[in-house]
Amino acid sequence: MTAKMTPVIDVTDAILVSSTVPETDHPVWAVGTTYALAANVIKGHKIWESVQAGNLGNDPETDDGTWWTEGLATNRWKVFDGYLQDQTSQATSAEWVLTPGQYFDTVAFLNINAAAVQIVIDDPAEGEVYNETYDLVDNSAVFDGWSYFFAPIIQRSNFCVSDLPPYQSATMTITFTGTTVFVGQIAMGLAEVLGFTSNQMPIGIEDYTRLNEDTFGRTSPVVRGYARTATPMVVVDRARVRYLERVVADQRGIPTIWSFDTPDGASDLVYLGFFRRFSMVYQYANKATFDLEIRSLV
């Protein structure tokens, strides 16, 4: 099973060409407008709330907290804000058109709920070089005749495509469809093959739910988000140990796509997050072992 690490391309105004998700959550901040207490505005694709009345001429992005408090990203930009639990939502469909301006061959979608996603790549010289629509129905709950007929239909919550044709000047159009579309994060980049995973890979979650108990022992849960975790052991070519040590270390503290092939498909397991630690066992044989601890964004 191939293990890949994909540094994420930071999406800016220059990269996001357009989207069918409107950025009309609130009015755009205007320097000449006086804002009341609790008024909301948009600045820098984020939502800001006024913490005082008579708020005039105070730029939210340069304010020290005296006049404004920073909130979530706008509905259009939530898919690029680095928070999986904050989902862009829109009825029927949602589309983003991106021009990364550099090579990319991988795109990952995290914390999604949609019926299908279409990926179209157009190159200025070659024209349309990729056009695939992926059904996001998750059949992993079906294991016998009973579950085939009676198990609820669910969608995949995480999905990754890692075989896109790499064109430096290409435009990628991503379109989700469904009754109501929810998308937590979209991330893309050029993958780096680390090696091959061993036959088993521990996976799990870190739950941030808090359990409060009163004096009688009654429990009241405060449900919060969770991080997905994976601790794969990757077998790598011994000759690449020094190189991999450097390129993985360069990703410390930076959200990264980690994807792993399984018998059920290419990049079947995908994480957007950080490595907590890694260690290598350097051997004089042709292969070395590389242990990773991965924690997803929340």
Element (H, E) at 150: helix 145-150
**Two tokens, residue 16:** 């996001």
Q: Looking at the domain covering 193-296, what would its CATH class be? A: mainly beta
Average pLDDT score over the chain:
94
For the segment(s) 10-17+80-190, the CATH number from 2.30.40.10, 3.40.50.1100, 2.60.120.260, 1.10.3720.10 is 2.60.120.260
284, pLDDT greater than 80: no
In which band, very low, low, confident or very high, does the pLDDT at 282 lie, cut at 50, 70 and 90?
A: confident
Q: Map out the domains of the chain as residue ranges.
A: 10-17+80-190, 34-73, 193-296
Supply the pLDDT for residue 285.
80
Per-residue pLDDT reduced to its tens digit, 94-138:
999 999 999 999 999 999 999 999 999 999 999 999 999 999 998
Which tens digits make up the pLDDT trace of 187-243? 999 999 999 998 889 999 999 999 999 889 899 999 999 999 999 999 999 999 999
pTM of this prediction? 0.93
SS3 249: helix
Three-state DSSP state, 147: helix
User: What pLDDT does residue 103 have?
Assistant: 98
- Which residues have CB under 8 Å from 150's CB, separation 6+? none
- Across 30-39, 124-133, 143-152, least confident range: 143-152
pLDDT at 77 over 80: yes
- pLDDT tens-digit readout, 165-203: 999 999 999 999 999 999 999 999 999 999 999 888 999
pLDDT at 265: 85
Nearest Cα to 165, choosing from 120, 195, 109, 98? 120
What pLDDT, on the 0 to 100 scale, is given for residue 141? 78
User: Of 207, 222, 203, 212, which is closest to residue 270 (Cα–Cα)?
Assistant: 203
